[in-house]
Amino acid sequence: MLTSTLFVNLLFLGAGVIAGFFLAKALRPAQKDNKSQKELAVQLAETQDDFSNYQQEVAAHFRKTSEVVSGLSKNYKSLLESFASAALHLTTADISRQIINSAFDADKTMNLVSEDNLKPPKDYAPKAPGGVLSEEYGLKEDSSLTNAQHVPSNSELDCALEEGNDDPTLNVN
Protein backbone atom coordinates (compact mmCIF):
# COMPACT_ATOMS: atom_id res chain seq x y z
CA MET A 1 0.00 0.00 0.00
CA LEU A 2 2.85 2.28 0.71
CA THR A 3 4.21 1.77 -2.77
CA SER A 4 0.87 2.49 -4.45
CA THR A 5 0.48 5.75 -2.43
CA LEU A 6 4.03 6.71 -3.28
CA PHE A 7 3.39 5.93 -6.93
CA VAL A 8 0.18 8.03 -7.00
CA ASN A 9 2.01 10.95 -5.31
CA LEU A 10 4.84 10.77 -7.87
CA LEU A 11 2.30 10.63 -10.67
CA PHE A 12 0.54 13.77 -9.36
CA LEU A 13 3.90 15.45 -8.88
CA GLY A 14 4.83 14.73 -12.51
CA ALA A 15 1.46 15.94 -13.73
CA GLY A 16 1.86 19.15 -11.68
CA VAL A 17 5.35 19.77 -13.10
CA ILE A 18 4.09 19.28 -16.66
CA ALA A 19 1.05 21.50 -16.04
CA GLY A 20 3.28 24.17 -14.44
CA PHE A 21 5.63 24.05 -17.41
CA PHE A 22 2.84 24.67 -19.91
CA LEU A 23 1.24 27.29 -17.69
CA ALA A 24 4.54 29.17 -17.39
CA LYS A 25 5.05 28.95 -21.14
CA ALA A 26 1.56 30.31 -21.75
CA LEU A 27 2.06 33.26 -19.37
CA ARG A 28 5.50 34.24 -20.71
CA PRO A 29 4.19 36.12 -23.84
CA ALA A 30 1.95 38.15 -21.55
CA GLN A 31 5.06 39.29 -19.72
CA LYS A 32 6.64 40.25 -23.05
CA ASP A 33 3.51 42.23 -23.89
CA ASN A 34 3.86 44.08 -20.58
CA LYS A 35 7.45 44.93 -21.50
CA SER A 36 6.41 46.17 -24.93
CA GLN A 37 3.57 48.17 -23.36
CA LYS A 38 6.08 49.75 -20.97
CA GLU A 39 8.39 50.50 -23.90
CA LEU A 40 5.49 52.04 -25.83
CA ALA A 41 4.52 54.12 -22.80
CA VAL A 42 8.12 55.38 -22.53
CA GLN A 43 8.16 56.16 -26.26
CA LEU A 44 4.84 57.98 -25.96
CA ALA A 45 6.15 60.09 -23.07
CA GLU A 46 9.31 60.93 -25.05
CA THR A 47 7.27 61.87 -28.11
CA GLN A 48 4.99 64.07 -26.03
CA ASP A 49 8.03 65.79 -24.51
CA ASP A 50 9.52 66.32 -27.97
CA PHE A 51 6.23 67.74 -29.23
CA SER A 52 5.95 70.04 -26.23
CA ASN A 53 9.50 71.27 -26.82
CA TYR A 54 8.71 71.84 -30.50
CA GLN A 55 5.61 73.87 -29.59
CA GLN A 56 7.70 75.99 -27.21
CA GLU A 57 10.31 76.57 -29.94
CA VAL A 58 7.59 77.63 -32.40
CA ALA A 59 6.07 80.01 -29.85
CA ALA A 60 9.51 81.49 -29.12
CA HIS A 61 10.15 81.90 -32.85
CA PHE A 62 6.88 83.79 -33.33
CA ARG A 63 7.57 86.01 -30.30
CA LYS A 64 11.02 86.87 -31.67
CA THR A 65 9.59 87.48 -35.16
CA SER A 66 6.97 89.77 -33.66
CA GLU A 67 9.63 91.73 -31.79
CA VAL A 68 11.79 92.05 -34.93
CA VAL A 69 8.84 93.21 -37.05
CA SER A 70 7.88 95.70 -34.36
CA GLY A 71 11.43 97.06 -34.32
CA LEU A 72 11.40 97.25 -38.12
CA SER A 73 8.16 99.19 -38.00
CA LYS A 74 9.62 101.66 -35.49
CA ASN A 75 12.76 102.08 -37.60
CA TYR A 76 10.68 102.66 -40.72
CA LYS A 77 8.59 105.28 -38.91
CA SER A 78 11.70 107.08 -37.67
CA LEU A 79 13.17 106.96 -41.20
CA LEU A 80 10.03 108.53 -42.63
CA GLU A 81 10.05 111.21 -39.94
CA SER A 82 13.69 111.92 -40.72
CA PHE A 83 12.94 112.27 -44.43
CA ALA A 84 9.98 114.53 -43.70
CA SER A 85 11.96 116.81 -41.39
CA ALA A 86 14.84 116.97 -43.87
CA ALA A 87 12.39 117.74 -46.67
CA LEU A 88 10.85 120.53 -44.59
CA HIS A 89 14.24 122.11 -44.01
CA LEU A 90 15.62 121.61 -47.50
CA THR A 91 12.60 122.50 -49.68
CA THR A 92 10.69 125.68 -50.44
CA ALA A 93 7.80 126.90 -48.34
CA ASP A 94 5.15 125.68 -50.82
CA ILE A 95 6.51 122.15 -50.84
CA SER A 96 6.84 122.25 -47.02
CA ARG A 97 3.14 123.17 -46.74
CA GLN A 98 2.20 120.29 -49.06
CA ILE A 99 4.24 117.88 -46.91
CA ILE A 100 2.57 119.12 -43.72
CA ASN A 101 -0.91 118.94 -45.29
CA SER A 102 -0.25 115.41 -46.53
CA ALA A 103 0.86 114.39 -43.03
CA PHE A 104 -2.46 115.63 -41.58
CA ASP A 105 -4.43 113.86 -44.34
CA ALA A 106 -2.61 110.57 -43.75
CA ASP A 107 -5.73 108.99 -42.28
CA LYS A 108 -7.50 109.17 -45.65
CA THR A 109 -7.12 106.06 -47.71
CA MET A 110 -5.25 106.38 -50.95
CA ASN A 111 -7.09 105.10 -54.00
CA LEU A 112 -4.48 103.77 -56.38
CA VAL A 113 -7.11 102.73 -58.94
CA SER A 114 -9.89 105.18 -59.66
CA GLU A 115 -13.30 103.81 -60.44
CA ASP A 116 -13.36 105.80 -63.70
CA ASN A 117 -10.48 103.74 -65.11
CA LEU A 118 -12.04 100.35 -64.36
CA LYS A 119 -12.83 98.39 -67.52
CA PRO A 120 -13.93 94.81 -68.01
CA PRO A 121 -11.21 92.42 -69.16
CA LYS A 122 -10.65 92.20 -72.89
CA ASP A 123 -11.47 89.09 -74.86
CA TYR A 124 -8.48 88.47 -77.05
CA ALA A 125 -10.19 85.76 -79.10
CA PRO A 126 -10.60 86.69 -82.77
CA LYS A 127 -13.94 88.17 -83.73
CA ALA A 128 -14.54 85.64 -86.51
CA PRO A 129 -17.59 83.42 -86.83
CA GLY A 130 -16.75 79.97 -85.59
CA GLY A 131 -13.80 81.33 -83.55
CA VAL A 132 -11.84 79.45 -80.91
CA LEU A 133 -14.45 80.06 -78.22
CA SER A 134 -17.27 78.76 -80.39
CA GLU A 135 -18.74 75.40 -79.47
CA GLU A 136 -18.50 74.24 -83.10
CA TYR A 137 -14.81 75.10 -83.47
CA GLY A 138 -12.75 72.21 -84.77
CA LEU A 139 -15.74 69.92 -85.28
CA LYS A 140 -16.20 68.71 -88.84
CA GLU A 141 -19.13 66.81 -90.30
CA ASP A 142 -16.74 64.72 -92.43
CA SER A 143 -16.91 61.06 -91.39
CA SER A 144 -13.86 60.07 -93.42
CA LEU A 145 -11.49 61.13 -90.63
CA THR A 146 -9.70 58.26 -88.98
CA ASN A 147 -7.80 57.93 -85.73
CA ALA A 148 -4.49 58.17 -87.60
CA GLN A 149 -4.76 61.84 -88.59
CA HIS A 150 -1.90 63.65 -90.27
CA VAL A 151 0.02 66.02 -87.97
CA PRO A 152 1.32 68.95 -90.05
CA SER A 153 4.98 69.87 -89.82
CA ASN A 154 6.25 73.39 -89.17
CA SER A 155 6.92 73.96 -92.89
CA GLU A 156 3.35 72.88 -93.75
CA LEU A 157 1.99 75.30 -91.13
CA ASP A 158 4.11 78.13 -92.56
CA CYS A 159 2.78 77.38 -96.07
CA ALA A 160 -0.78 77.37 -94.73
CA LEU A 161 -0.21 80.78 -93.14
CA GLU A 162 1.15 82.19 -96.39
CA GLU A 163 -1.77 80.79 -98.42
CA GLY A 164 -4.32 82.51 -96.15
CA ASN A 165 -5.89 79.57 -94.36
CA ASP A 166 -9.46 80.03 -93.00
CA ASP A 167 -8.47 79.01 -89.46
CA PRO A 168 -9.28 82.09 -87.31
CA THR A 169 -6.59 81.25 -84.75
CA LEU A 170 -3.90 81.67 -87.39
CA ASN A 171 -5.20 85.12 -88.38
CA VAL A 172 -4.93 86.81 -84.98
CA ASN A 173 -3.52 90.35 -85.26
Split the chain (173 residues) into runs of 10 and give each run's mean pLDDT: 82 91 78 76 95 95 94 90 82 78 60 63 61 64 54 60 59 54
Report pLDDT for 5. Answer: 86
Report pLDDT for 127. Answer: 60
Report pLDDT for 151. Answer: 58
18: in domain:
yes
Report pLDDT for 98. Answer: 81
| Contact between 102 and 94 (Cβ < 8 Å) | no
Report pLDDT for 95. Answer: 80
Straight-line distance from the first to the last Cα atom of the chain, in angstroms, rounded to the nearest whole number = 124
d(CA 155, CA 66): 61
Q: Which amino acid is at 110?
A: M
Number of domain units in the chain: 1
d(CA 38, CA 32): 10
139: in domain:
no
55: in domain:
yes
Report pLDDT for 97. Answer: 78
Question: Helical H runs in 91-134?
Answer: 93-104
121: in domain:
no
125: in domain:
no
Structural domain span for residue 90: 7-104
83: in domain:
yes
148: in domain:
no
Helix H or strand E segment including 158: helix 154-163
Secondary structure letter of residue 137 according to DSSP: T
State the pTM of this model.
Answer: 0.36
127: in domain:
no
